[in-house]
């Protein structure tokens, strides 16, 4: 059973968002990393790039698949987890911790309300697998 920590927001594209003030931290969920398999490469944007909600901000690659990364809400990139360049496996081993991908300055705090809670996301992945 996938780990879905409380206190984070989730998108139907299987990204998580942690909100602290007007800063958001983004990564992919445990469920997502599990279905991808061994992550071998993460392509991330540069600091300062701006994206709208649900826009592609990068991609994550396993040996035989590429998945696009969608930003749960709009924002400007303020920090990128450069350590994933050398250790992309952190996305597998610690998706909510060291495997985080980018930090953003939220464009519109209100967008967060459209995202799922932990319980809602758990229901969502359950319904998806049925």
Partner 1 sequence: MTITKATTHVTQNEALVFERSQTGRRGYRLPALDVEETALDELLPAELRRDDDLEGVPELSEPDVVRHFTRISTWNYNIDLGLYPLGSCTMKYNSRLNERVARIPGFANLHPLAPEEDAQGALEVMYELQQHLAEITGLPGVSLQPAAGAHGEMTGVMMIRAFLDARDGTTSDEAKRRKVMLIPDSAHGTNPASAHLSGFTVKTIRSTPEGLTDLEHLRELCAAGDVAGLMLTNPNTCGIFERNIREICDIVHEAGGLVYMDGANMNALVGVARPGDMGVDVIHLNLHKTFSTPHGGGGPGSGPCCCTAELEPFLPVPRVVTSGTGDGAYRLDYERPHSIGRVKAFYGNFGMHLRALAYILTHGNDGLREATEAAVLNARYIAHGLADTFDRPFDSPPMHECLFTDKRQSRKGVHTLDIAKRLIDYGFHPMTIYFPLIVQGAMLIEPTESVGRSELQQFVDAMKEIAREALEDADTVLNAPHTTRIGRLDEAAAARKPVLRWKPEGKATAA
Partner 2 sequence: MRYIPNSPEERQEMLRGLGLGSAAELFDSIPADIVLTEPLKTPDALSEIELLERFEAMASKNAAARRPSFLGAGAYHHYAPTIVDSLIQRSEFFTAYTPYQPEISQGTLQAIFEFQTLVCQLTGMDVANASMYDGSTAMAEAVLMAERVTRRQRVLVSGAVHPEYLRVAETYVAHAGIELGRLETDEATGRTAIDASALDDKVAAVVLQSPNFFGCVEDLKAFADRVHAAGALLVVVVTEAASFGLLRSPGACGADIVVAEGQSFGVPVSYGGPYVGLFATREKYARQIPGRLAGIAYDKEGRRGFVLTLATREQHIRREKATSNICTNEGLIALAATIYMTALGRKGLQEVAAQCAQKAAYARRQIAALEGFSIPYSAPVFNEFVVRAPSDAAGLLRRLASEHNVTGGLALSRYYPERANDILVCVTETNKRADIDALVAGLKQS
Which range touches partner 1 (CB under 8 A), out of 39-47, 52-60, 100-108, 118-126?
Answer: 39-47
Pick between residue 47 and residue 68 the one whose CB is nearest to partner 1.
Answer: 68
Task: Check binding of 19 to partner 1 (CB under 8 A).
Answer: no
- 44 and 101 Cβ atoms separated by less than 8 Å: yes
Per DSSP (E only), the strands in 1-130 are 9-10, 15-20, 23-28, 39-43, 50-51, 56-62, 65-70, 75-80, 102-106
Q: How many angstroms separate the Cα of 128 from the Cα of each of 51, 92, 109?
A: 27, 21, 28
Task: Check binding of 40 to partner 1 (CB under 8 A).
Answer: yes
CA distance 81 to 114: 26
Residue 65 interacts with which of partner 1, partner 2, none, CB < 5 to 8 Å by class: partner 2
Task: Check binding of 41 to partner 1 (CB under 8 A).
Answer: yes
Which range touches partner 1 (CB under 8 A), out of 57-65, 71-79, 99-107, 108-116?
Answer: 57-65
Residue ranges in contact with partner 2 by CB under 8 A = 40-41, 61-66
């Amino acid at each position: 059973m996938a780990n879905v920590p409380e206190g984070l927001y989730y998108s139907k594209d299987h990204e998580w968002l942690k909100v602290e003030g007007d800063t958001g931290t983004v990564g992919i969920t445990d469920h997502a990393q599990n279905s991808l398999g061994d992550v071998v490469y993460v392509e991330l944007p540069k600091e300062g790039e701006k994206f709208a909600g649900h826009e592609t901000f990068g991609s994550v690659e396993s040996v035989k698949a590429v998945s696009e990364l969608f930003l749960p809400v709009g924002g400007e990139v303020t920090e990128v987890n450069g350590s994933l360049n050398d250790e992309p496996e952190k996305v597998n081993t610690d998706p909510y911790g060291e495997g985080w991908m980018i930090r953003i300055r939220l464009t519109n705090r209100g967008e967060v309300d459209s995202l799922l809670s932990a319980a809602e996301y758990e229901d969502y992945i359950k319904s998806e697998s049925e």
